[in-house]
């Protein structure tokens, strides 16, 4: 009943947004005529059938974990449900999230949730906003703040700039930004507080990527007994971005011709992976070649999406939490502009530098994040679609490094030619959208890559993208803080 | 009673002070003599064009190679300066092969260098080549960044590398490919080092905290492995003399020295630094000295004596950014250290210019014994310098001299340090803190109207013969709970009625006190009282006293009350108070719209709200209670005093500065208890007068004291009532309760009711024999328990434990 009411409320703005997205988001012109319908799917995700999410997969361990989560937080949100496909990861994810939101830390609890709101708002992720509006009020936040940025203390407002940069162009963060925030004065941030805030921001930017990337459905919360929540939910209309091309997709995915096609795609991909793993030094690339390959990847990422998104419609419910809504991701390597120095991964690594700094200023979070990054990087089931016993290392590394590449982070010891060989174009489109403009992700994008792969594998991809993005943001922010300190 | 040995004196004896200059210089010469060529020079530096990643020295100690992402140069070390000898980075657009993560200069062949490139290539360089490009061989076998390269100490052609991909490779420089590959079976290799003494052994350190020992002849399996650190082990170094010692440094900020001679690697020394350890290098000719630099934040280079892990024996503070490479200039010379840094400088540090933190530290120790005696140890020189001061009576001096036998092999000689130990005995009487405990237990801090709180506390203080404190409470009551609350109409009214009902004597008394003098004389008296007991209470002061304690006194017995018999009446009065507080409570928990409900930043709003309620309530209640309970026959002098003040139009915060000074005075005197109690009772009225930090300081001191006396409940109450953010959140820290399984006695990690290990339901209800989820109550005596409801019900009818163990459980 409640669900129905929600949808009723949604229908109008959804139409709008959906249309505009269909219009703007995809270059496929035919989509303009697509009728918008309310989400067909039930369950936690609009992209993934409910039974897929609930599929038994190490059932015992998984239920244990979910039960535990339920007993600590009193609910099981859709994110958790979708992530629970990857139980191992979920555990470290929840642990770190719990720590940064609820355990001892430099920032007061309502602040933390408000920062989460601010971060999610950069990507217009109403799902996360709703969730944290609720939490914010529960932890005793001042309801007035929810009216928008004009109502919050100056100190929080000062965080806007760094939030904006971090979300869209983290490479622009300099030590001056940090200095401005920590400079002694009435509204200054202490370094531990700032680090806590940065970790939260990065976490929620990345989580927004996951939410859109996996098409997380709005919560159907049964226990909306308190009025506040109900209002909040109704206020922030939950637009399901996935619904703009549901119908068409249904036909697309079910067509037989696509499957035959993708089967051969899969074979080819595996063949390439094998080749890369076996004889690496066969095609010894010269230095210049390597350089150009990185540059090429960087440049190519430009072409992946045509940049005509400028007139985006942001609902007022979300826009009240953001300043300068027009500021978005701009390609790191746009041609003809000032050359920004590439971030050399080896000069500032998470393991050596980032960890030490973060852990020093906000104790223990370093270990939790470290574990999470390590977990996601090494997570594998040695399967690819229908095949088993596959070493997916190269593929995972390609995904991870491609995200970093779009943020201008370069690994000296990586041949970016691999990215080109392993990641097909539709996947690149998806990656780029999910990491840089998550709010534009559509079900079509989700479906159009790796058609043979299981949903759980696609969720795995999303996890990789999310963590790679979080690490990239953290690296830039922490490097700026380090520079400020020296 | 034997004097307690202060712990501070021990380090004082162990900690040495380095040798004086002349001695050191002498050593320097002899050290140099060992190397063959005399080393000399000064602390100097040169600018590099780019940040350095690693440095290495030539065998002859006259050249140093600096490598980094954008630099690869050889510098000659001369007497006064560094001179650039050679730039190995040639070509217009140098390739990534030049981007070095590590560099090493062969200690046998001065023409041979090897670098580890960030793109995973191992490059060797031959300086003997005639061409400009000295690049010799290129090994591209590693898939990831190579973190470390290492030449065999005695074998010319053997090179070892460790990489991010988790492999170590051994190269024979005469061949094109690696001769053997060692798989660490784990994450990236951070450091590899050939053992200096054991020809075939090398150590490798890993990102996951492990250290492995390998035999170069057996690539299939490591010889041994142990976990050295929590988190990555960034570096290791074999001791140059002692074959069994390996030093490791990790991200966990530790430097550990391992004795590898035993079957299990044994940690023999551990130094805790302040930042993750990037490099460790044993100091030549000094068995226990080791140089370290850190990866992040800390830019200094430290030289530690591993036996004294608390304070570095020398420190070089020249660099402005993190130091990335350190190397001792000569294998046998302990006085010259070279270092490269991210700040693009190359330094030569001379030991005699090092700063020695030990010089600045005064070895002093201070300790209380069980019986309150205080022992204090310090350098003798410090103690004797003020010997003209009259010794304290309780002072028993024990001049104890600690002398350390000189170890002839020691490079750093310790000058014999002597310390004096003084013990101050406390006499039992004065040291008694019973009053503190009693006061803490009996004070009421919240939950009642301000006036009542003050009265109660005054009585408590008085009961313990602390008259000054008692007076303070009384005054606070007068200041804060009667001001501005009595409207003039009301006052007149009560005056009128009062005068009608009161005997004549009272009005007479009133006349005796000059207006405005009332409070003044009280002040004087309070001072006097602290010395002597009241000699004489004249009628007026009796009156005032009465007024202080009066609150709900009925109008029927005013005369009796005023005439004395205070003690008995007071008790009755308080009994009454305790019995019927509820009626009044209704009144002072009135709607609070007028008050700001929330602090701006709230950690735990529910707790704080609660607290604010309490803090506010006396205020409200003060007003309410006063106006309401001002019965016609309210004690007379109270009215007269407040009346006079009222007429002077004094705002209620007029006295704030005085109160503040009072609190400061008490805190200064060491009676932080009074200060904090008043602070809590007065709440918002006084809080803004005293700066946050002072308040916080008081709170922490008081809480500390309470905890020392094991008054946990009271300390908790104080924490709860405090309005300081920092104090308030003390209660929110470490609120986790860990439980063990009742079957296997191991910690239950997942859920409270089922144990993962023994798969049994751990917490069964003793009554219904079902699993308890939710509220679980158990007896601390026999540890049986169950559902709260069930146990409650059970114990209503039976006094024995429901489990049948025979224990007489109690439920309160």
B333-352: pLDDT as tens digits: 888 999 999 889 999 999 88
Give the tokens for residue B13.
């004896």
Best probe of the A interface among B119, B234, B608, by most A CBs < 10 A, is B119
> Where is mean pLDDT largest: A226-230, A466-470, B140-144, B377-381?
A466-470
Report whether pLDDT(A315) > 50.
yes
Give the separation between CA B690 and CA A191, rounded to whole angstroms: 27
Residues B532-543 pLDDT 10s:
344 343 444 444
For residues B424 and B498, which has the higher predicted lDDT (pLDDT)? B424
The nearest CA of chain B is from the CA of A442 a distance in Å of 36
Residue A414: count of CB within 10 angstroms of its CB: 25
Residue B793: count of CB within 10 angstroms of its CB: 13
User: Of A121-135, A161-175, A338-352, B158-172, where does mean pLDDT reach its minimum?
Assistant: A338-352
pLDDT (mean) for B303-308: 90
Say whether B120 and A355 touch across the interface (CB within 8 A): no
**A-chain residues within 8 Å CB-CB of B144?**
413
The nearest CA of chain B is from the CA of A412 a distance in Å of 5
For residue B52, give the chain A residue with the closest CA. A347
pLDDT (mean) for B158-170: 91
Give the separation between CA B682 and CA B685, rounded to whole angstroms: 6
Q: What angle do CA A183, B315, B193 make, to 5 degrees?
A: 105
User: Is the distance from CB of B113 to CB of B148 less than 8 angstroms?
Assistant: no
Task: Give the pLDDT band of residue B766 (cuts 50, 70, 90).
Answer: confident
- Element housing B271 (H / E): strand B266-272
Best probe of the A interface among B146, B234, B602, by most A CBs < 10 A, is B602
Q: Which strands sit side by side in the sheet containing B178-183, from one edge to the other?
A: B146-151, B158-163, B167-172, B178-183
For residue A278, give the chain B residue with the closest CA. B143
Task: Give the pLDDT band of residue A260 (cuts 50, 70, 90).
Answer: low
pLDDT (mean) for A260-265: 63
Residues A441-477 pLDDT 10s:
888 888 888 888 888 888 999 999 999 999 999 999 9
pLDDT of B603: 43
Task: Give the pLDDT band of residue B670 (cuts 50, 70, 90).
Answer: confident
Give the residue numbers of A annotated as catalytic, written as ranges: 125
Backbone torsion region of residue B271, taken as left when φ is above 0, otherwise alpha when ψ lies between -120 and 50, otherwise beta: beta
Best probe of the B interface among A352, A354, A357, A363, by most B CBs < 10 A, is A352
Looking up tokens 């580890």 gives B116
Residues B217-226 pLDDT 10s:
998 899 899 9
Which of A250, A243, A270, A211 lies closest to A450 in space, CA to CA? A270
Pairing of strands B135-139, B245-250: unpaired
Give the separation between CA A94 and CA B782, rounded to whole angstroms: 37
Give the separation between CA B546 and CA B529, rounded to whole angstroms: 17
Task: Give the pLDDT band of residue B785 (cuts 50, 70, 90).
Answer: confident
pLDDT of B88: 86
Say whether A347 and B145 touch across the interface (CB within 8 A): no
User: Is the distance from CB of A393 to CB of A380 less than 8 angstroms?
Assistant: yes
pLDDT of A373: 92
Give the tokens for residue B233.
């082990």
Say whether A370 and B232 touch across the interface (CB within 8 A): no
Task: Outline where DSSP puts E strands in A349-483.
Answer: 383-384, 387-388, 409-410
Report whether pLDDT(A67) > 60.
yes
User: Of A180-184, B91-95, B134-138, where does mean pLDDT reach its minimum?
Assistant: B91-95
For residue A288, give the chain B residue with the closest CA. B95
Helix, coil or strand: residue A486? coil
Say whether A486 and B600 touch across the interface (CB within 8 A): no
**A-chain residues within 8 Å CB-CB of B750?**
64, 68
Say whether A413 and B93 touch across the interface (CB within 8 A): no
Closest CB to B251: pick one of A64, A286, A356. A356
Give the tokens for residue B561.
């009350």
Residues B38-56 pLDDT 10s:
677 888 999 988 899 999 9
Helix, coil or strand: residue B670? coil
**B-chain residues within 8 Å CB-CB of A367?**
231
For residues B761 and A19, which has the higher predicted lDDT (pLDDT)? B761
For residues A225 and B88, which has the higher predicted lDDT (pLDDT)? B88
Residues B600-613 pLDDT 10s:
444 444 443 444 44
For residue B608, give the chain A residue with the closest CA. A140
Give the separation between CA B740 and CA B727, rounded to whole angstroms: 31
Residues 6+ apart with CB under 8 A from B316: B300, B301, B302, B337, B339, B347, B349, B354, B355
Say whether B275 and A486 touch across the interface (CB within 8 A): no
User: Is the distance from CB of A401 to CB of A270 less than 8 angstroms?
Assistant: no
Task: Give the pLDDT band of residue B15 (cuts 50, 70, 90).
Answer: very low
pLDDT of A47: 80
Calculate the CA dihedral of residues B468, B472, B477, B480 and round it to 10 degrees: 170
The nearest CA of chain B is from the CA of A411 a distance in Å of 8
The nearest CA of chain A is from the CA of B127 a distance in Å of 23
pLDDT (mean) for A159-184: 88
pLDDT of B586: 41
Share of chain B above pLDDT 90, in %: 18
The nearest CA of chain A is from the CA of B401 a distance in Å of 41
The nearest CA of chain A is from the CA of B164 a distance in Å of 10
pLDDT (mean) for B150-173: 91
User: Is the distance from CB of A482 to CB of B296 less than 8 angstroms?
Assistant: yes
- Element housing B593 (H / E): none
For residue B51, give the chain A residue with the closest CA. A347
pLDDT of B360: 79
**A-chain residues within 8 Å CB-CB of B234?**
352
Report whether pLDDT(B11) > 50.
no
For residue B750, give the chain A residue with the closest CA. A68
Residues B235-244 pLDDT 10s:
999 998 877 8
Residue A367 vs residues A207, A360, A370: alpha-carbon distances, Å: 19, 11, 5
Report whether pLDDT(B632) > 50.
no
Give me the helix-helix angle, B656-669 and B467-481, nearest 10°. 160
Residue B602 vs residues A118, A284, B100: alpha-carbon distances, Å: 19, 61, 51
Report whether pLDDT(B742) > 80.
no
Give the separation between CA B323 and CA B52, rounded to whole angstroms: 9
**A-chain residues within 8 Å CB-CB of B251?**
351-352, 355-356
A&B contacts, CB < 8 Å: 101
User: Of A342-351, B125-134, B175-184, B754-763, where does mean pLDDT reach its minimum?
Assistant: B754-763
Give the separation between CA A407 and CA A342, rounded to whole angstroms: 9
Best probe of the A interface among B54, B93, B143, B732, by most A CBs < 10 A, is B143
Say whether A346 and B322 touch across the interface (CB within 8 A): no
pLDDT (mean) for A47-56: 69
Which of B807, B776, B809 lies closest to B794 in space, CA to CA? B809
Residues 6+ apart with CB under 8 A from A200: A100, A101, A107, A112, A115, A116, A119
Looking up tokens 């990641």 gives A423
**A-chain residues within 8 Å CB-CB of B342?**
486
ipTM of this complex prediction, to 2 decimal places: 0.73
pLDDT of B640: 42
pLDDT of A60: 66
Residue B498 vs residues A263, B494, B507, B637: alpha-carbon distances, Å: 103, 6, 10, 11
For residue B144, give the chain A residue with the closest CA. A413
Q: Which strands sit side by side in the sheet containing B201-206, from one edge to the other?
A: B189-194, B201-206, B210-215, B224-227
The nearest CA of chain B is from the CA of A68 a distance in Å of 6
Task: Write the burial class of residue B565 (CB in 10 Å: 0-12 exposed, 13-18 middle, 19+ buried).
Answer: exposed
Task: Give the pLDDT band of residue B711 (cuts 50, 70, 90).
Answer: confident
User: Of A212-226, A234-248, A320-334, where does mean pLDDT reach its minimum?
Assistant: A234-248
Give the separation between CA B727 and CA A347, rounded to whole angstroms: 41
For residues B384 and B549, which has the higher predicted lDDT (pLDDT)? B384
Cα Dmax for chain A: 66
Residues A376-429 pLDDT 10s:
988 888 888 778 888 888 889 999 999 998 888 888 888 888 888 888 888 888
**B-chain residues within 8 Å CB-CB of A175?**
none
Residues B432-469 pLDDT 10s:
677 888 888 888 888 888 888 888 888 888 888 888 88
Give me the helix-helix angle, B656-669 and B692-708, nearest 10°. 40
The 3-class SS string of B748-776 reads CCCCCCECCCCCCECCECCCCCCECCCCE
Say whether B297 and A140 touch across the interface (CB within 8 A): no
């Amino acid at each position: 009943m409640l669900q129905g009411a929600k949808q009723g409320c949604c229908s109008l703005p959804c139409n709008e947004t959906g249309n505009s997205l269909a219009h703007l988001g995809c270059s496929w012109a035919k989509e303009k005529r697509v009728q918008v319908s309310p989400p067909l799917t039930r369950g936690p995700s609009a992209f993934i059938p409910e039974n897929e999410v609930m599929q038994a997969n190490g059932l015992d361990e998984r239920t244990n974990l979910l039960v535990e989560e339920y007993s600590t937080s009193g609910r099981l949100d859709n994110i958790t449900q979708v992530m629970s496909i990857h139980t191992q990861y979920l555990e470290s994810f929840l642990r770190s999230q719990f720590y940064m939101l609820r355990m001892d830390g430099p920032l007061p609890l309502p602040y933390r949730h408000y920062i989460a709101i601010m971060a999610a708002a950069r990507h217009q992720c109403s799902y996360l906003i709703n969730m944290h509006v609720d939490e914010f009020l529960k932890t005793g936040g001042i309801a007035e703040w929810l009216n928008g940025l004009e109502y919050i203390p100056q100190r929080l407002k000062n965080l806007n700039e760094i939030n904006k940069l971090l979300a869209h162009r983290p490479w622009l963060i300099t030590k001056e930004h940090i200095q401005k925030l920590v400079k002694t004065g009435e509204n200054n941030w202490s370094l531990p507080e700032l680090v806590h805030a940065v970790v939260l921001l990065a976490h929620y930017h990345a989580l927004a990527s996951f939410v859109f990337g996996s098409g997380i459905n709005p919560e159907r919360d049964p226990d909306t007994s308190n009025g506040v929540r109900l209002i909040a939910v109704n206020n922030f209309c939950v637009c399901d971005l996935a619904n703009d091309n549901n119908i068409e997709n249904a036909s697309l995915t079910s067509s037989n011709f696509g499957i035959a096609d993708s089967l051969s795609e899969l074979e080819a991909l595996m063949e390439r992976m094998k080749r890369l793993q076996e004889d690496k030094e066969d095609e010894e690339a010269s230095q210049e070649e390597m350089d150009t390959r990185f540059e090429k990847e960087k440049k190519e990422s430009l072409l992946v999406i045509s940049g005509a998104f400028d007139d985006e419609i942001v609902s007022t419910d979300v826009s009240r939490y953001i300043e300068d809504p027009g500021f978005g991701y701009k390609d790191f390597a746009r041609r003809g502009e000032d050359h920004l120095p590439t971030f050399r991964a080896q000069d500032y690594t998470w393991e050596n530098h980032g960890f030490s700094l973060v852990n020093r200023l906000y104790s223990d979070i370093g270990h939790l994040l470290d574990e999470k990054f390590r977990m996601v990087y090494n997570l594998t089931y040695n399967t690819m679609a229908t095949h088993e016993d596959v070493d997916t290392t190269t593929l995972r590394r390609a995904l991870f490094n491609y995200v970093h590449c779009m943020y201008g982070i370069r690994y000296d010891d990586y041949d970016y030619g691999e990215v080109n060989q392993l990641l097909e174009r539709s996947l690149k489109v998806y990656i780029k959208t999910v990491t840089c403009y998550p709010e534009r992700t559509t079900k079509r994008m989700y479906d159009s890559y790796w058609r043979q792969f299981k949903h759980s594998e696609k969720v795995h991809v999303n996890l990789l993208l999310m963590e790679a993005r979080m690490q990239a943001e953290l690296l830039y922010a922490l490097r700026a803080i380090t520079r400020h300190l020296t | 009673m034997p004097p307690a040995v202060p712990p501070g004196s021990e380090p004082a004896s162990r900690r040495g002070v380095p040798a004086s200059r002349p001695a050191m210089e002498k050593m320097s010469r002899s050290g140099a003599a060992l190397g063959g060529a005399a080393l000399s020079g000064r602390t100097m530096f040169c600018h590099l064009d780019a940040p350095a990643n690693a440095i290495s020295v030539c065998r002859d100690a006259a050249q140093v190679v600096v490598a980094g992402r954008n630099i690869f140069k050889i510098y000659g070390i001369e007497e006064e300066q560094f001179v650039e000898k050679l730039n190995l980075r040639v070509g217009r657009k140098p390739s990534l092969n030049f981007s070095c993560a590590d560099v090493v200069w062969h200690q046998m062949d001065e023409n041979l260098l090897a670098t580890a490139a960030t793109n995973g290539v191992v490059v060797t360089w031959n300086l003997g080549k005639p061409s400009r490009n000295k690049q010799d061989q290129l090994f591209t076998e590693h898939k990831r960044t190579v973190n470390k390269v290492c030449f065999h100490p005695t074998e010319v052609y053997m090179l070892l590398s460790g990489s991010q991909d988790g492999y170590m490779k051994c190269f024979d420089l005469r061949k094109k490919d690696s001769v053997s590959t060692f798989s660490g079976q784990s994450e990236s290799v951070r450091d590899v080092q050939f053992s200096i003494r054991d020809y075939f052994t090398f150590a490798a350190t890993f990102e996951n905290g492990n250290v492995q020992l390998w035999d170069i002849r057996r690539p299939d399996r490591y010889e041994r492995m142990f976990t050295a650190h929590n988190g990555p082990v960034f570096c290791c170094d074999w001791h140059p003399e002692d074959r069994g010692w390996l030093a490791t440094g990790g991200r966990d900020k530790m430097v550990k020295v391992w004795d590898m001679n035993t079957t299990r690697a044994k940690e023999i020394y551990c130094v805790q630094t302040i930042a993750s350890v990037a490099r460790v290098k044993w100091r030549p000719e000094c068995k226990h000295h080791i140089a370290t630099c850190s990866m992040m934040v800390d830019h200094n280079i430290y030289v530690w004596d591993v036996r004294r892990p608390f304070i570095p024996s020398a420190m070089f503070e020249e660099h402005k950014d993190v130091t990335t490479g350190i190397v001792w200039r000569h294998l046998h010379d302990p006085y010259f250290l070279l270092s490269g840094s991210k700040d693009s400088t190359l330094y030569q540090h001379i030991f005699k210019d090092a700063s020695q933190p030990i010089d600045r530290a005064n070895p002093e120790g201070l300790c209380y014994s069980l019986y309150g005696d205080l022992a204090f140890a310090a350098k003798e020189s410090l103690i004797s310098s003020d010997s003209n001061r009259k010794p304290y009576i309780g002072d028993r001096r024990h001049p104890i001299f600690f002398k350390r036998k000189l170890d002839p092999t020691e490079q750093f000689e310790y000058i014999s340090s002597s310390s004096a130990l003084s013990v101050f005995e406390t006499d039992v009487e004065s040291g008694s803190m019973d009053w503190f405990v009693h006061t803490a237990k009996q004070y009421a801090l919240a939950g009642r109207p301000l006036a009542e709180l003050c009265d109660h506390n005054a009585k408590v203080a008085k009961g313990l013969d602390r008259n000054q404190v008692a007076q303070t409470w009384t005054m606070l009551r007068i200041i804060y709970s009667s001001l501005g609350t009595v409207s003039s109409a009301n006052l007149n009214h009560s005056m009128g009625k009062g005068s009608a009902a009161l005997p004549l004597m009272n009005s007479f008394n009133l006349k005796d006190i000059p207006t405005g003098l009332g409070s003044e004389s009280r002040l004087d008296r309070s001072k006097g009282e602290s010395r002597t007991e009241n000699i004489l209470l004249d009628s007026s002061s009796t009156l005032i006293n009465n007024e202080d304690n009066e609150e709900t006194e009925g109008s029927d017995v005013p005369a009796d009350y005023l005439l004395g018999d205070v003690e008995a009446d007071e008790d009755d009065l308080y009994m009454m108070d305790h019995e019927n507080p509820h009626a009044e409570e209704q009144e002072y928990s009135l709607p609070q719209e007028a008050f700001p409900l929330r602090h701006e930043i709230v950690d735990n709003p529910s707790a704080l709200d609660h607290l604010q309620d309490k803090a506010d309530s006396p205020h409200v209640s003060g007003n309410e209670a006063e106006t309401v309970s001002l019965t016609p026959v309210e004690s007379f002098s109270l009215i007269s005093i407040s009346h006079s003040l009222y007429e002077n139009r004094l705002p209620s915060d007029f006295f704030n500065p005085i109160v503040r000074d009072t609190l400061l005075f008490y805190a200064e005197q060491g009676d932080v208890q009074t200060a904090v109690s008043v602070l809590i009772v007065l709440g918002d009225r006084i809080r803004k007068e005293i700066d946050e930090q002072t308040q916080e300081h008081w709170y922490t001191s008081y809480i500390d004291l309470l905890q020392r006396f094991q008054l946990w409940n009271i300390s908790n109450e104080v924490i709860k009532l405090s309005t300081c953010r920092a104090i308030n959140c003390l209660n929110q820290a470490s609120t986790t309760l860990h439980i063990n399984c009742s079957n296997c006695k191991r910690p239950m990690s997942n859920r409270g009711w089922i144990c993962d290990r023994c798969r049994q339901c751990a917490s069964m209800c003793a009554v219904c024999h079902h699993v308890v989820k939710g509220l679980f109550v158990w007896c601390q005596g026999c540890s049986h328990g169950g559902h709260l409801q069930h146990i409650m019900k059970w114990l209503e009818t039976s006094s024995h434990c429901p489990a049948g163990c025979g224990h007489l459980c109690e439920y309160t």
